[in-house]
Copies of this chain bind each other. A is one copy, B any other.
Amino acid sequence: MESTYAIISSTNRKGAMSYRLALIYQDLMSHAGIEAQLIDLEQLPPDFVFTALYDNSKKNQIFNEFQRVITASTKFVFIVPEYNGSFPGVLKAFIDGLEYPSSFRNKKAALVGISSGNQGSALALSHLADIFNYLGMHVFAQKPRLMRIENNLLPTGALTEQYLGYLKRQVEGFLEF
C-alpha cells in the first residue's frame, strides 16, 4: 500500500522556526519524489482546546479539516521545538482532540527536535515517542535534534549542510520504514 505523508509544524507560535523547518523538510521530500502535506498548528482555531475537545469532539469545522488530513495520512514527520523542557502544549492539546484510535494506530512517525539552547529536546522527543507508542504509532529510531537552530539557518533561509545532512538521512530511512 502506498504511503501518504504529512509534515506537522508542532507549534502555534507566529513565525515559528518549526514552520520554516517544515518547509525545508517538505522540499527534501519533494526531491525524493514524495508530496507531503503540511499541517501548521498556527492555523488551528484559537479556541479549539475548548471547542473541539471532549464533549465538543467533531463539532469544530476548522478542526475537522485538520482531522481529515490526519486521517488520510499514514506517515508523519513532526517538527518539534523545545518549550519548557518538553514539546509545545498546543501539540498535545491537538492530539487530545483527534479521534482515537483511528488517527494514529499502526501508522508511522519521524521526529525532528529543534532548540535554541545547546542541551535541547531529548526529553521532548522521548515524551512524544511515549505518547505515539501509547496510540499505537511506530516511531522511527533516528530523531535528529537540531540545537542552536538560530545559528544554523543561513540568511538565505537554507539550513547548514550539516543539519541538512541529518534531515536527508532521516528522509531516506523513513521512506523505507
Contact = CB atoms under 8 A, between A and B. Distances in A.
Copy total for this chain = 4
Interface stretch (A68-76, A80-88, A159-167): A80-88
Contacts of A139: 133, 138-139, 141
Nearest to A51: B46
Contacts of A131: 84-86
Counting chain B CB atoms within 10 Å of each CB, the highest count among A134, A137, A140, A147 belongs to A134
A60 B34 CA distance: 42
Contacts of A127: 86, 127, 130
A123 B124 CA distance: 10
A133 to B, nearest CB: 5
Interface of A: 12-14, 46-51, 53-55, 83-96, 100, 106, 118-119, 122-123, 126-127, 129-143, 145, 147, 173, 177
